[in-house]
Structure 1
Amino acid sequence: MTLSEALHELRTAPRPFATGEVLAMASRHGLENAVRRGAIVRILPGLYAAALHSDSWLVLARAALQWSPDAVLSGASALFAAGALLDAPSRIEVVVPRHGRRRYPAWIAARRSDLILPTAPWIEAHRMLVPAYAVALGYGAAPPGFRAELVYGPVRSGRTTPEEIDAAVRSLPRVRSRRALHRRAALAAAGIESFMEEVGARDVLVGPEFAGLVRQHRLHVRGASFRADAFHAPSLTAFEFDGARFHDARRLEDARRDAILASVGVVTVRFGYADVMNRPEWCRDVALRTVQARVRDDPLRDR
């Protein structure tokens, strides 16, 4: 096999290749030349990948586990691998036995532990923590701005439950930010599904006027089912908190949804990310005035 053919093999297979695998396709001189030219990248000692795939989360995660066979994916890495998070984390998080002395590069966050933790299969012989334990171990290590999604994402996706997260936290002797994680798990159990909804519940839809709100309420109209972030039944008002990812396709879909709900008397009030984060008092005033006006103007109210 020529070096060109070997490079083609690496380019069409986004995974790490052991030195022996590469040398079975090309000479050591050819490998060294390819590395010098930047066509092949040495990811870890004894592991290579095509430069095309050298920044791939999948390739890096597999390389980390292949390089350290006793390691399992943990934290946000395990959650992303399980499909519980949409965004790949910037570092590969793993749990390794405490007795190991291997030094890891900066892009691998290794936590040492002798605990026997529940795992699930991932790719080939590699394993990852089950989602509830991945949340418990990863929450305190995550950047503050990412911690909410580390709880709500896995619950929203159905990969775990608030009760499972609580049980995992209680079973572990040491959990960073344990109290904050317990609080977020309780909010998730109450129906909160995102950081935006958390802020909305804390700063916008707060007070006795909103005591009867139903979180994550489903409305059935003309054969279709729609979910509202929060629903005020006396005024038939649905509240939605649109995150920073809001895009045109989603905007069109939600406009159609709002129109269908309006056809049965349900009005939808939407708050954008910037307003919820920067002027929650204004959002609360709008929400309160809306429900008060709709209850006051209800033609059936005094019958």
Structure 2
Amino acid sequence: MKARTVVPAQLMSIARFQSGVVSRGQALEAGLTHTGIRGLVETGRWKHLARGIYSTGEIGWEQLLWAGVLIGGPGSTVGGLAAAHQLGISPQPETIDIWAPRAASYRRRAAPSPWDFHRGIRASRGNPPHLSVEETVLDLCAACGPDGITSWIGKAVGGWLTTPDRILAALDRTPNLRNRKLIRECLEVISDGSNSALEARYRRDVEQAHGLPTGRRQKSVSSGTASDVVYQEYGTISELDGKLGHRGDGEVRDAWRDSKHLLLGFVTLRFGWSDVAQRPCEVAARVADVLRMRGWDGLPQRCPDCLHIA
């Protein structure tokens, strides 16, 4: 009768730390032989995940994360949507992004596999190692448009995982990041409110670019309020909702104030940062239509990017 292979205590300790996943190199270093490893796999005690990577127990999400990190080699870390899932701001993705040092070899990767490897040295934290909240958010923002940027930053900041200042600090450390300008504007809007970057973009890309009247900024229409952009002569208000928090109690307060202004003869239009950043021509068309309905006799002009202004 063939003797049962004994797994060294040192390797068992490593496996516990790595959610039950070990590499062939770790097993050999701990004292197992190639024959012993083969026997563990053939008897079903270990399960093969990829070339040279094994699970000593169940195979689930955590095991696949660790397998990707071990395939990538020392210094590898989980990134992308997989890191976002670890942080609790994204559903579990089908593909696990792994950042690995440039010298790492990915020959042990199974094909097809759940891993997508990216070469680069990235700081990591946690178990399994993954990108920080700030680096994860920036990576995801770099791959999407204004709506996505707003969403990812909103999830991280609104979930109290980080702050705009911490994301800005991380952004300063990545000078070549794609969408850098849009990300910075979004963070400034969230940090400072619509009196800064969002209002400046509305003035430039909505009003000036399309020949609309210039509204008065931060004007009080009713007692105790200050509206972002007021077209007094035409009884129209544009509110620029750049801050997080226009949901729940904030949304109720906004609706109450809008109804109060409506009784005073003012109609209120509300636009978010992604509206102004991504769809300024559509915003201008909407504002122009309302202004004309309320007495403006001008005509909006087409900007170089205009697709929606008649």
TM-score normalised over the length of structure 2: 0.48
Point out the structure with the larger strand share: 1
Larger Rg: 2
TM-score normalised over the length of structure 1: 0.49
